[in-house]
Amino acid sequence: MELVILRCLLFSIINFHGFVQASKLLLILMDGFRWDYFDFPDVSLPGFQQIFQEGVRAQYLISEFPTNSYPNFYSIMTGLYPESHGQVSNYMYDVPTGKKFLLGSNDDAMLPLWWEEAEPLWITAEKQASQNMIFMINERKNILTAISKALNIEHQIEHRRTHSKIENKRAYFYDWLGCQVTIRGTNITFCKPYTKVTYPGDLAITLNEGLHLFANNSADLVGLYLESPDAYGHRFGVVSENLKQGLRDIDDVMQAMMSNLTSMGLKEKVNVMMFSDHGMADRTSVVNLTTVIDPDDWIELLASMNIVRIWPKEDKLEKIVQDIQRANFSGVQVYRKEDLPERWHLKDHQRTPPLMVIGNKAQYLITSTRPKVHEYPTGPMVGMHGFDNTDTDMRAMFIATGPAFKKNKVAHPIYNIELYQMMCKILDITAQPHNGTWSNVKDMLDLDTSMATKRSTHDVILVMILGVTLHSMLTIFRIYF
Ligand SMILES: [Zn+2]
């Protein structure tokens, strides 16, 4: 009798792993989506409004400097400042190897060299299982060992124990810059590499695929990249009807996503975090540095919108500084690397150039290597970014919904390096060292109701107490009756 009951108990312990479920996480990166696009008076966005009501919205997200895509993509996905993760710009020159990283898709940009100084979330997830799951399984093994020893049936459960498999997280990323790169020897489960500008129609397709991966339990983490807000901003400008229509088109996708989360039974399982890398502002002026910076003075010069990065020839650094200062362009600043402001967290990296020329708000700098403003079929570039990250127009956005997040909450502004720790918490994986501070984000989360995994620990303890009680009762019963 005693043996039968204890064996039933043992069987239930062996098979109770099914209720451990860390939350699944959907990330949508919307390039160049400025913080205040939600509030354009003549743009109605009911899909986003529903997300605000059912989730959190930070007043705004503070980007890192320079307010360009790659430094900010990687700060969001590593929780590190640019000087710590190494992607200090959209345009980089690595002096030791002579390699260049150029925005767009030059093959060298996908070399691990640019990516491996930090470990992004998608790689960390692939390397780890849920921490609660590991704890649970270890606890279960301890209980099993203790009980099987007591009952002298160790040989009978050995087979089951060896099949207690801990599965790492599985990440699927679509159109995400760099998801194909092998980082620290690890690759993502699935990557659809970025090949072209992605529009709301593309997002609708990848979103549908991502939700199905959650529904059939194939994926734990899905990342989607939407480029259209940045593309419309650059091409048509911030106040253009094209950009506004682009926002309405995104909102249609959001409405469909919210209704699909419900109809597919995913609302209590999937957390959605949406964020942008930087804001946008319309170009105000063009500054011509072509005759100011002598091409004989530098080894490498990489220019983009408002920033010119210069690697001077030996002994030419001060000459270049003086030439630019003498030209006395209003709003244009030249910085030696060591003079870059601390708050930009940029100067302490070997790939930050010895000299940076930085145009003030929305000044487009042209040089001998970039002799005119970028041209689209519709005309020259209108919207720009890359300015100081304290500029209000460079602010980005962060919104989220799902079981881990509070409802209808407007949160204070946060730096984008704070998002990473939230992602790790939701996925229940151990974060890599990062620059975030938990107290800056914990108010957005509703951990009591979201962390189903917490219950698992309580359940282990409960089963142990029950087992001990039952064993004692049976012993007493046997002694006295
Ligand atoms: Zn851009």
- Dist CA 302 CA 308 (whole Å): 6
- Does position 307 have pLDDT exceeding 90, yes or no? yes
Distance CA 250, CA 235 (A): 17
Could you tell me which residues come within 8 angstroms of residue 135 by beta carbon, excluding any fewer than 6 positions away?
A: 457
Ligand 1 centroid to residue 350 C-alpha, Å:
25
Instruction: Give yes or no for residue 283 having a pLDDT over 80.
Output: yes
Instruction: Kindly state the tokens that stand for 375.
Output: 């041209």
Computed over every residue of the chain, the mean pLDDT equals 89
Per-residue pLDDT band for 107 (boundaries 50, 70, 90) equals confident
Q: 56-93 pLDDT, tens per residue?
A: 999 999 999 999 999 999 999 999 999 999 999 999 99
So what's the pLDDT on residue 479? 60
Whole-number Å distance, alpha carbon 116 to ligand 1 midpoint, is 24
pLDDT value of residue 104: 72
Question: Which of the two residues, 5 and 168, has the higher pLDDT score?
Answer: 168
> For residue 454, what pLDDT is reported?
45
Say how far residue 318 (Cα) sits from the centre of its chain: 39
C-alpha 31 – ligand 1 centre gap (Å): 7
Distance 130 CA to ligand 1 centre (A): 36
Predicted confidence at residue 7, as pLDDT, reads: 55
pLDDT over 50 (residue 162): no
CA distances from 373 to 282, 340, 370 (A): 13, 26, 8
Lookup: tokens for 205: 């397709």
Query: What pLDDT was estimated at residue 9?
Result: 54
Domains annotated for the chain, with CATH where assigned, are 1-80+118-280+388-481 (3.40.720.10), 285-372 (3.30.1360.180)
CA of 56 from ligand 1 middle (Å) equals: 26
Report d(CA 198, CA 434) in Å as an integer. Answer: 30
Distance 64 CA to ligand 1 centre (A): 14
Spacing, Cα 231 to ligand 1 middle (Å): 7
Give residue 63 CA to ligand 1 midpoint distance, Å. Answer: 13
The reply to whether the predicted model has a pTM over 0.75 is yes
For residue range 331-351, what is the model confidence (pLDDT) as tens digits?
999 999 999 999 999 999 999
Q: Which of 19-28, 54-63, 289-298 has the least mean pLDDT?
A: 19-28
pLDDT tier, 481 (very low <50, low <70, confident <90, very high otherwise): low
Beta bridge partners of 55: 401
For the cut 50, the answer to whether the pLDDT of residue 155 exceeds it is yes
Paired tokens of 3? 């043996």
Q: 16 C-alpha vs ligand 1 centroid, how far in Å?
A: 49
Query: How many angstroms separate the CA atoms of 319 and 138, rounded?
Result: 65
**How much distance in Å is there from the Cα of 226 to the middle of ligand 1?**
12
Distance 104 CA to ligand 1 centre (A): 11
User: What separation, in Å, do the N-terminal and C-terminal C-alpha atoms of the chain show?
Assistant: 14
Least confident of 236-240, 300-304, 468-472: 468-472
Closest CA to 230 of 119, 436, 383: 383
C-alpha 317 – ligand 1 centre gap (Å): 29
Contact 453, 428 (CB under 8 A): yes
pLDDT tens track for 361-405: 889 999 999 999 999 999 999 999 999 999 999 999 999 999 999
Structure confidence by residue, pLDDT tens digits, 34-49: 999 999 999 999 999 9
User: Residue 19 has what pLDDT?
Assistant: 37
For residue 22, the model assigns a pLDDT of 61
d(CA 138, CA 151): 20
Distance 234 CA to ligand 1 centre (A): 7
**Among 130-134, 256-260, 277-281, 393-397, which stretch is predicted with the lowest mean pLDDT?**
130-134
Look at residues 24, 145, 13 and name the one whose alpha carbon lies nearest to residue 453.
24
Res 154: pLDDT: 64
Ligand 1 center–CA 386 separation, angstroms: 8
Q: What does the pLDDT read at residue 210?
A: 98
Per-residue confidence (pLDDT) for residue 456, from 0 to 100: 47
How high is the pLDDT of residue 133?
Answer: 73
Is the pLDDT at 26 greater than 60? The verdict is: yes
Tell me which residue of 469, 461, 400 sits closest to 57, measured CA to CA.
400
